[in-house]
Amino acid sequence: MWNSRSHFWKGVSSLIPNNRKALIAGNWKMYKTIAETEAFFTEVAPLVKGVTHCEVVIAPPFTALRRAAELAESVGISIGAQDLHWEKEGAWTGAISATIIRETGATFTIVGHSERRQFFGETDQSVNKKIGAALSAGLRAIVCIGETLQERETGQTEAVLNRQLVNGLAGLTEPEFSPIIVAYEPVWAIGTGRTATPEIAQQAHCFIRGCVGQIVSPTVARGLRILYGGSVKPDNIRGLMEQPDIDGALVGGASLQAKSFASIVHYQVMEAAKF
Ligand code: 13P
């Protein structure tokens, strides 16, 4: 069933076959001015230009989106926002809509990052509305889910992930999933240096794919790219990428330096590529 926002994504699903294309995304959080963004792209351009084995995305602060989009185009990097508001426009002081993001040249947005959930009152319901707004404006959505340490230690990981998926993805039709990417980011691994082992991450990714299979359809689940996020570094990306259900990474701290980000992008030739 196509609805009003599906037209953006006609034909896109065929670009994402079951052999899922890897995606490496950098989430800069509240780092980098426009000048620092320019310096990053100058340095990263020769290191990642011509990469075809994976898609590469950078999510700078809102203020640097436009300049980043200009600089990224010739390098083959896509640009994403870190958040958006679900309304098209209105009296929402400090908020940014999908349309405003789209105008900068950005084509992705992160939705439901755990820092938004923890510190800015993001809920599964607001995540759901934001996904709808992103798709309506033609933005791809990287939807973040993940359990806290306390939830993991009390055996609630699967229940939490399932709840975030059921509520966050509620009401989406099958065709609307082609621009959706899920990022599994266990909160206890973010910015702590404590990465989930490849086995723990794989287990969660496999569970997430199974949930999507039940919530939506096995076909959508097979085609869905699931990224891992949480202390991803050049020295642990390879083990993560070797897992069958890990299709890429959402990188925080290590995406701020061009060299370490490029090393992560080149995860498959880590031994040879010493930047
Ligand atoms: P770190 O890679 O700094 O742990 O951050 C992960 C993250 O939150 C990416 O969105």
- Indicate whether residue 26 lines ligand 1 (CB < 6 A): no
Q: Answer whether residue 270 is part of any domain.
A: no
Residue 191: predicted pLDDT = 86
> What CATH number should be reported for the domain holding residue 176?
3.20.20.70
Per the residue annotation, which of 85, 113, 205, 266 is the catalytic one? 113
Number of domains the chain contains? 1
Residue 76 maps to a domain: yes
Residue 135, in any domain of the structure: yes
Establish whether residue 229 lines the binding site of ligand 1, counting it when its CB lies within 6 angstroms of any ligand atom: yes
List per-residue pLDDT tens for the chain, 275 residues long. 334 454 444 434 333 334 899 999 999 999 999 999 999 999 999 999 999 999 999 999 999 999 999 999 999 999 999 999 999 999 999 999 999 999 999 999 999 999 999 999 999 999 999 999 999 999 999 999 999 999 999 999 999 999 999 999 999 999 999 999 999 999 999 988 888 899 999 999 999 999 999 999 999 999 999 999 999 999 999 999 999 999 999 999 999 999 999 999 999 875 444 44
In this structure, what token pair is assigned to residue 1? Answer: 């069933």
- Is 186's C-beta closer than 6 angstroms to any atom of ligand 1? no
Q: What is the DSSP string of 115-169?
A: HHHHHS---HHHHHHHHHHHHHTT-EEEEEE---HHHHHTT-HHHHHHHHHHHHT
How many CA atoms, within 13 angstroms, populate the side-chain half-sphere of residue 108? 27
Q: Do the domain assignments include residue 177?
A: yes
Q: The domain containing residue 149 runs over which residues?
A: 4-13+21-30+37-88+96-250
What's the pTM?
0.92
Residue owning tokens 């620092």: 36
Question: Is 113 an active-site residue?
Answer: yes
The answer to whether residue 185 is catalytic is: yes
Within a domain: 120: yes
Q: Which atom of ligand 1 is nearest to the CA of 115?
A: 8
Residue 118 lies inside a defined structural domain of this protein: yes
Residue 233: predicted pLDDT = 96
With respect to residue 262, please indicate whether it lies within any of the assigned structural domains: no
User: Would the CB of 195 count as within 6 Å of ligand 1?
Assistant: no
Catalytic pick from 85, 151, 185, 205? 185
In a domain, 125, yes or no: yes
